[in-house]
Structure 1
């Protein structure tokens, strides 16, 4: 039961990704061919491999992580607070910093990771990029040999499905129908590549990522029947 989980044992997270190179032409010939093969089914005949490359960030084999934002609850007296922080910059460095956070503070059996559509995207993407960089997987992302009930992951989209595997519900839609105030965001996921490569504005991406972490935490509170956390008790550190 969700209400039995100690909120302080959950690390909420979200990632933002972009294509590994700014444009298709920056890839070597072998990688161009591999991209053409990988993307063939999704793009069909509507786009050339070059035109479709702006979407490469959704595949860990052709993209990279530019920001990992996390958030966690802490109780001060009877008031619960929520703190967010982000890792950004060089991908290998941010992955090592994130791993250090997990190993140092969220590594016991009681700790859980939570995101929206994170079982399908965020968790495997982080794990794959760590392996690509030769970083040993932290315990919370190493799923080999674990039984389904031993995997320490929560997913707000999966919780909302209630067993319906045909349904995809965006975080924005879920927040809307649950009465969660929509954060004021000046970008969306489709704009991250442009903001990163064309505007070189990582701060905008960090802000966007952290707001999604806050929204995910608020959705989780609603799913377990708790009151939303007041904006005054949400801080970025």
Structure 2
């Protein structure tokens, strides 16, 4: 039961990703052929591999992480607080910073990671990019040999499914139906590519990513039957 979990033992997170290069033409010929083969099923006959390339950030083999935002609960003077911070910039740097956070503050058996659709996207994406950069996986992301009940991951999408494997519910839709303020008040995921490569506004992406992290925490609170966070309970570090 999630109501029995200590909120202070959970690290909530969200990531933002983009294609590894701004333009398809910047890939070498081998990578272009591999992208053509990889994307063929999704784009079908509607787009060429080059026209579809702005969506390459979805795949860890063709994309990169530009921001990881995290949030965690603390208590001060019997007051509930939710602290958020973001790692952004060069991918290898932000991945090592995120790993350091896991090792220093969320490495014990009681600690869990939580994201929306995290088991399908965020957690494996981070792990794959760490391996690509030759970064040793921290225990919380190294699933090799673990039994399902030993995996220290929570997923608000999975919790919302209640065993239904046919349904995908977006973060925006779930916040709407649960009466949670929408985090999509500026940009959405489809615009991150342009904001990163064309306007070079990484801080705007980080702000958006943090709002999604807060939304994940709010959804988790609603699923537990707890009161939602108020603005004065959220601290941006």
TM-score (norm 2): 0.99
Aligned to 1:230: 230
Aligned to 1:123: 123
Q: Distance in 2 between matches of 1:233 and 1:43?
A: 43
State the shift of 1:183 in Å. 3.6
State the match for 1:4 in structure 2. 4
Q: What RMSD in Å do the two structures reach over aligned CA positions?
A: 0.7
CA deviation vs aligned residue, 1:71-123 (integer Å, no higher than 9, x gap): 00001132210000000000001000000000111000000000000000000
Which has the higher mean CA deviation after the structures are superposed, 173-182 or 16-25?
A: 173-182
Distance 1:181 1:43 in 2: 33
Aligned match of 2:51: 51
Q: Secondary structure at the match of 1:113?
A: strand
Query: Which residue of the partner structure matches residue 112 of structure 1?
Result: 112
For the residue of structure 2 that corresponds to 1:51, the secondary structure is coil
**Which piece of structure 1 moves more, 216-225 or 183-192?**
183-192
Q: Are 1:189 and 2:189 counterparts?
A: yes
Q: How does 1:142-153 map to 2 (within 5 A)?
A: 142-153=142-153
Corresponding residue for residue 168 of structure 1: 168
Q: Match for residue 177 of structure 1?
A: 177
| Counterpart in the other structure of 2:216 | 216
- 2:32 is aligned to 32
Aligned residue for 1:50, secondary structure, equals coil
**What secondary structure, in the 3-state scheme, does the structure 1 residue paired with 2:52 have?**
helix
Residue matched to 1:19: 19
Gaps of 5+ in 1: none
Retained in 1: the 8 A contact 2:183–2:208?
Answer: no
CA distance in 1, matches of 2:65, 2:198: 17
C-alpha spacing 1:124/1:184, structure 2 compared with 1 (3 Å) = closer
Say which is worse superposed, 115-124 or 180-189, in terms of deviation. 180-189
Give distance in 2, aligned partners of 1:219 and 1:61. 30
Mapped partners of 1:161, 1:148: distance in 2: 17
8 Å CA contact 2:11–2:113 kept in 1: the answer is yes
2:150 & 2:184 partners in 1: Cα distance? Answer: 37
Q: Distance in 1 between matches of 2:44 and 2:78?
A: 55
Distance 1:185 1:175 in 2: 12
CA distance in 1, matches of 2:84, 2:162: 28
